Amino acid sequence: MLTFRVLSALLRYPTPELKAQLPEAEGILRSEGLLGVKHCEGVCAFLHYLRDTPQLEVESAHIAAFERGRSTSLYLFEHIHGESRERGQAMVKLLLRYRAHGLEPSTRELPDYLPLFLEFLSTRPAAETGRHLAEVADIVALLGERLRRRNAPHAPVLEAVASLAGHRVGAAASGLEPDGEERDDTAAALDAAWEEAPVVFNDAQGAPGTR
């Protein structure tokens, strides 16, 4: 289903070449009819944004949406496992799933990268896509909710992906997101994230510390 391939392309880093493909992308979305009317119009509005916005602004918006802080990262397992060992194990299982269905990801892309996951779904029959997508639907819906709150132009794309899993946008996302959650994409939050941990020396009792 080419709709998944279109959504995958729209979530990747925007290249100048993408603009030339926007009319074809809109044609695919409207002709396949996989998205509901509301979500199709939302994604098409994003296509028009890409078409009408200067390239540097489009690139800057993508970085602001997905690369400033972790709460809107497109790496799915980061939201579940963080940097724990379990994330690596989950990615190995996902990679094996890709390979079992004939998809060999680029060595530059981690298996849990959402655009890659959507590319995988584009190769699967409709009977399978819902099952695969349901596994990450809560995360995708949460990303869409966060982007919507930040007025990011990409929010309709994430909301459209969540809708393909039968997800009612805003329902699970509001339940998953803690009340009063602080944004991690502000200058202060980014500075705090990059601060070095304080050096701790051994105390008098010989407790282990960092030298």
- pLDDT tens sequence for the chain (211 residues): 899 999 999 999 999 999 999 999 999 999 999 999 999 999 999 999 999 999 999 999 999 999 987 889 999 988 876 566 777 788 888 899 999 988 888 768 889 999 999 999 999 998 889 889 998 999 999 999 999 999 999 999 999 999 998 766 554 444 444 445 555 445 444 444 435 444 444 444 444 444 3
In order of their start, the domains of the chain are 2-180 (1.10.3480)
What pLDDT was estimated at residue 168? 60
What pLDDT was estimated at residue 205? 42
Instruction: Look up tokens 């194990």; give the residue.
Output: 89
What pLDDT was estimated at residue 182? 59
What pLDDT was estimated at residue 175? 41
What pLDDT was estimated at residue 200? 43
Three-state secondary structure string covering 23-37 = HHHHHHHHHHCCCCH
